[in-house]
C-alpha cells in the first residue's frame, strides 16, 4: 500500500514564524550593510545588525580550520603561499593523507605533477608575476581549477579564498541541485531531497533560480510568512542561525524563496551559503545554471539532473564545460523516460550515477506528497548513501 502525505493536510502545516527581532533592532527589510575602518587602515566589519534568534551566536571564535595542500617545488613561491595560509589561520600540510580545505598548485607543476585523484577540494593555480599567461588558462580549466592567481598581484584574493576554503565544514552538508537542460526536473527533485532530509536533522531548502517559477509555488506555500531573499541583504557571516529560524517552515523544511521580489545574484547566494555552513543539518539548493560557478566552493555535492535523451545530454555537456567544477564534486541524477538508459547518460557525460527516477503521478506535490517509490525513493536512497559516505 502506498504511503502518502496528502497535499491538503500538509498545506495546513505551513507554520508562520514570529518576527525575529532583538531588542532595539529594526526589521530586516530596513537594514543596510555597515562597514568601518580600523585605525591601522585594515577593513573591519562592524557588529551585524541582522535580527538574531535568542541565545549565543553559532559562530565559534577560533573554530578549527583545514590545511592547504601544496603541489609544486620548494622555494620562494611555496613560502609565499605558506605565509598566506598562516595569515588566513591555516597551514601547509605535510602529511599527504591528511584532509585539506583546498589544493594550491604552482603553474609549472600543472600537468607534470599528479594531483590528488578525484579530489572534492577546490583547486587554486598560482603563477609568479603580474599577469596570467594565456597558455595557462586551458591547462588550468582542464584540471578543474577554481581560480588562477598571479602573485604577488593577486595577494588579497588568495588570502580571501584561503580564508573561505579552509574554514571547517563540520556543520551543514550543502547539496546543490541543478538541471542539465531546461525543464530537467531539478526543482522538483530538490524539494524531494529536502523532504528526505527531514529525518536527519534541520533542513533548509533554498530557491536559487531567479528565472524559475518559484519553489514556493511548486510546494504550494506561496505567501507563507517569514524572511525571503530580499531580507538577507544585511546578513552577516555570523547570522546563519537567525536566518534559518526566520524562514517560513513547510512540513519541517525551512524555505528561502524570492516570492514576488528579485531572486539572488552572484553576491547574495555565496553570502547566504557561507552563513548557513557552520550550522547543523542539511542545506539543499535549487540552483540556476548561471549561479553554479559562484556556489561551487560552498557545496559538498552538486547533483546534475538530466533527462535520458540525447538533446539533454548535449546541453548538460555544454554546461559542464562552462562550469569547470572541481573533479569529483558533481554526480548525475537521471530522469528516466527518454531513449537512453541511465548508464548510457552517465557514460556520455563521464559522471558517476547517483540516482535515477521516473516522473511521479500527475498532481503530486513535491515535499508535501511523499511516495514510497519513484523520485521520493531515489531521493531517500541517494541521501542515505551520502550520509553513509560522510560517516565512513
CA-wise closest residue to 280 among 202, 390, 199: 202
What integer pLDDT is reported at residue 97 of this predicted model?
67
Q: How far is residue 338's CA from residue 46's CA, in Å, rounded to a whole number?
A: 54
Residue 246 lies in a domain: yes
Whether 158 and 197 share a structural domain? no
Residue 264 lies in a domain: yes
Q: In percent, how much of the chain has pLDDT > 70?
A: 80
What integer pLDDT is reported at residue 14 of this predicted model?
45
Q: What is the pLDDT of residues 320-339, one digit of tens each?
A: 999 988 878 999 999 998 88
Q: Which helix (H) or strand (E) holds 87?
A: helix 76-87
> Cα torsion for 101, 107, 109, 113, to the nearest 10°?
50
Q: What is the pLDDT of residues 196-241, one digit of tens each?
A: 999 889 999 999 999 999 999 999 999 899 999 999 988 888 899 9
Q: How far is residue 69's CA from residue 96's CA, in Å, rounded to a whole number?
A: 8
Q: At 229, which CATH number?
A: 3.40.50.300
Q: How far is residue 216's CA from residue 206's CA, in Å, rounded to a whole number?
A: 10
Q: Which of 165, 197, 221 is the last residue of a domain?
A: 165
What integer pLDDT is reported at residue 355 of this predicted model?
95
Decide if pLDDT at 45 tops 60. Answer: no
CA-wise closest residue to 84 among 100, 96, 60, 68: 68
Burial of 289 (0-12, 13-18, 19+ CB in 10 A): buried
Whether 178 and 161 share a structural domain? no
What integer pLDDT is reported at residue 17 of this predicted model?
42
Whether 93 and 219 share a structural domain? no
Domain containing 87 equals 67-165
Cell of 307: 533527462
Residue 321 lies in a domain: yes
User: Are residues 302 and 330 in contact, defined by beta-carbon separation less than 8 angstroms?
Assistant: yes
Decide if pLDDT at 54 tops 70. Answer: no
* Top-ranked range on mean pLDDT: pick from 7-16, 18-27, 37-46, 196-205: 196-205
Whether 135 and 279 share a structural domain? no
Q: Which of 165, 188, 208 is the last residue of a domain?
A: 165
* pTM greater than the 0.85 cutoff: no
Instruction: Kindly report which listed range (138-152, 164-178, 279-293) carries the lowest average pLDDT score.
Output: 164-178
Residue 17 lies in a domain: no
Cell of 255: 524555505
Amino acid at each position: 500500500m502506498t504511503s502518502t502525505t496528502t497535499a491538503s493536510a500538509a498545506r495546513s502545516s505551513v507554520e508562520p514564524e514570529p518576527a525575529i527581532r532583538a531588542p532595539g533592532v529594526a526589521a530586516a527589510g530596513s537594514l543596510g550593510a555597515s562597514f568601518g575602518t580600523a585605525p591601522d587602515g585594515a577593513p573591519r566589519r562592524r557588529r551585524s545588525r541582522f535580527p538574531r534568534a535568542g541565545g549565543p551566536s553559532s559562530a565559534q571564535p577560533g573554530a578549527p580550520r583545514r590545511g592547504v595542500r601544496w603541489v609544486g617545488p620548494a622555494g620562494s613561491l611555496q613560502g609565499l603561499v605558506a605565509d598566506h595560509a598562516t595569515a588566513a589561520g591555516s597551514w601547509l600540510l605535510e602529511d599527504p593523507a591528511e584532509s585539506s580545505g583546498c589544493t594550491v598548485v604552482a603553474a609549472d607543476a600543472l600537468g607534470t605533477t599528479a594531483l590528488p585523484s578525484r579530489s572534492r577540494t577546490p583547486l587554486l593555480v598560482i603563477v609568479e608575476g603580474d599577469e596570467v599567461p594565456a597558455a595557462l588558462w586551458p591547462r588550468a580549466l582542464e584540471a578543474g581549477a577554481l581560480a588562477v592567481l598571479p602573485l604577488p598581484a593577486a595577494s588579497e584574493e588568495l588570502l580571501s579564498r584561503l580564508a573561505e576554503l579552509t574554514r571547517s565544514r563540520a556543520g551543514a552538508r550543502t547539496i546543490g541541485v541543478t538541471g542539465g537542460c531546461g525543464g530537467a526536473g531539478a526543482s522538483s527533485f530538490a524539494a524531494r531531497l529536502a523532504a528526505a532530509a527531514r529525518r536527519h536533522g534541520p533542513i533548509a531548502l533554498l530557491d536559487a533560480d531567479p528565472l524559475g517559477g518559484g519553489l514556493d509555488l511548486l510546494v504550494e506555500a506561496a505567501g507563507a510568512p517569514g524572511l525571503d531573499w530580499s531580507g538577507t541583504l544585511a546578513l552577516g557571516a555570523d547570522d546563519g542561525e537567525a536566518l534559518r529560524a526566520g524562514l517560513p517552515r513547510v512540513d519541517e523544511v525551512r524555505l528561502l524563496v524570492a516570492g514576488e521580489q528579485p531572486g539572488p545574484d552572484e553576491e547574495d547566494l555565496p553570502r547566504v551559503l557561507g552563513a548557513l555552513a557552520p550550522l547543523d543539518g542539511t542545506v539543499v539548493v535549487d540552483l540556476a545554471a548561471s549561479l553554479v560557478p559562484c556556489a561551487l566552493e560552498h557545496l559538498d555535492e552538486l547533483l546534475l539532473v538530466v533527462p535520458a535523451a540525447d538533446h539533454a545530454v548535449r546541453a548538460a555537456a555544454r554546461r559542464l564545460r562552462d562550469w569547470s567544477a572541481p573533479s569529483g564534486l558533481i554526480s548525475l541524477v537521471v530522469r528516466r523516460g527518454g531513449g537512453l538508459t541511465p548508464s548510457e547518460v552517465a557514460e556520455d557525460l563521464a559522471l558517476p550515477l547517483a540516482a535515477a527516477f521516473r516522473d511521479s503521478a500527475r498532481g503530486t506535490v513535491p515535499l508535501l506528497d511523499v511516495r514510497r517509490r519513484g523520485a521520493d525513493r531515489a531521493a531517500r536512497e541517494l541521501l542515505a548513501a551520502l550520509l553513509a559516505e560522510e560517516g565512513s
